[in-house]
């Protein structure tokens, strides 16, 4: 069995697409395709990463003619390995989106407060929070400011949750 055949077989055994494997290894999909068709060979660093990803030794990958039998399916009481603990590509993308959304909400809320303050200094009569009776009114201005504060809190929660390992 050649290296390219082994790479193809291992990828199929682990039900990964070329894109998923490429993302995990930090290479392009075309690179994975070339490895599997024998047009190129992964470098040493990538070979080590592939052996860790598929949990086989470099000897099995490079030297031996056949691949070792795939491991028996883990039981519920089995201890998850370090490989299982690594974040999957889908989780990483969701975390990234969560962080960006959180930042957008946070900075958006801060901008709302800052813009409201700037407008207040230019048009104080329209943006003050007290009415003719000098009582505090919960009108559109106040709600606008409170929404800004709520957006900051929401954005912070989203950002922190998405950033946790």
Partner 1 sequence: MKKLSTVFKILAILLSDVMCARVAYTYSAHEWGQKYAGWSAGPQVAFFLAIPYLIGMIVCILLAWFCKKRTAAK
Which residues are near partner 1 by CB under 8 A?
A: 103, 106-107, 109-110, 113-114, 117, 120-121, 124, 128-130, 133-136, 145-146, 148-149, 152-153, 156, 159-160, 163
Please write down the long-range contacts of 5-11, taking CB distance under 8 Å and 24 or more positions apart.
6/61, 6/67, 7/32, 7/35, 7/36, 7/42, 7/50, 8/36, 9/67, 10/50, 10/54, 10/56, 10/67, 11/36
Nearer to partner 1, 34 or 116 (CB): 116
Nearer to partner 1, 3 or 113 (CB): 113
For the CB of residue 159, give the shortest distance to partner 1 in the complex, in Å. 7
Q: Identify which of residues 80 and 124 has a Cβ nearer to partner 1 in the complex.
A: 124
Question: Least separation, in Å, of the C-beta of 60 and partner 1?
Answer: 33
Residue whose CB is less far from partner 1, 42 or 148:
148
Q: What is the SS3 assignment for 4-40?
A: HHHHHHHHHHCCCCHHHHHHHHCCCHHHHHHHHHCCC
């Amino acid at each position: 069995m050649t290296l390219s055949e082994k790479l193809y077989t291992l990828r199929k055994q682990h039900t990964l697409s070329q894109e998923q494997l490429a993302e995990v290894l930090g290479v392009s999909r075309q690179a994975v395709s070339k490895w599997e068709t024998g047009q190129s060979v992964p470098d040493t660093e990538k070979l080590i990463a592939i052996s860790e990803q598929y949990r086989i030794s470099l000897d099995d990958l490079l030297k031996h003619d056949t691949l070792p039998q795939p491991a028996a399916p883990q039981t519920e009481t089995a201890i998850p390995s370090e490989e299982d603990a690594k974040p999957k590509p889908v989780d990483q993308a969701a975390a990234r989106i969560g962080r960006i959304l959180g930042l957008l909400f946070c900075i958006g809320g801060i901008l709302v407060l800052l813009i409201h303050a700037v407008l207040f200094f230019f048009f104080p009569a329209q943006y003050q929070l007290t009415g003719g009776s000098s009582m505090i009114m919960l009108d559109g201005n106040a709600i606008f400011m409170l929404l800004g504060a709520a957006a900051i809190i929401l954005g912070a929660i989203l950002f922190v949750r998405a950033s946790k390992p």
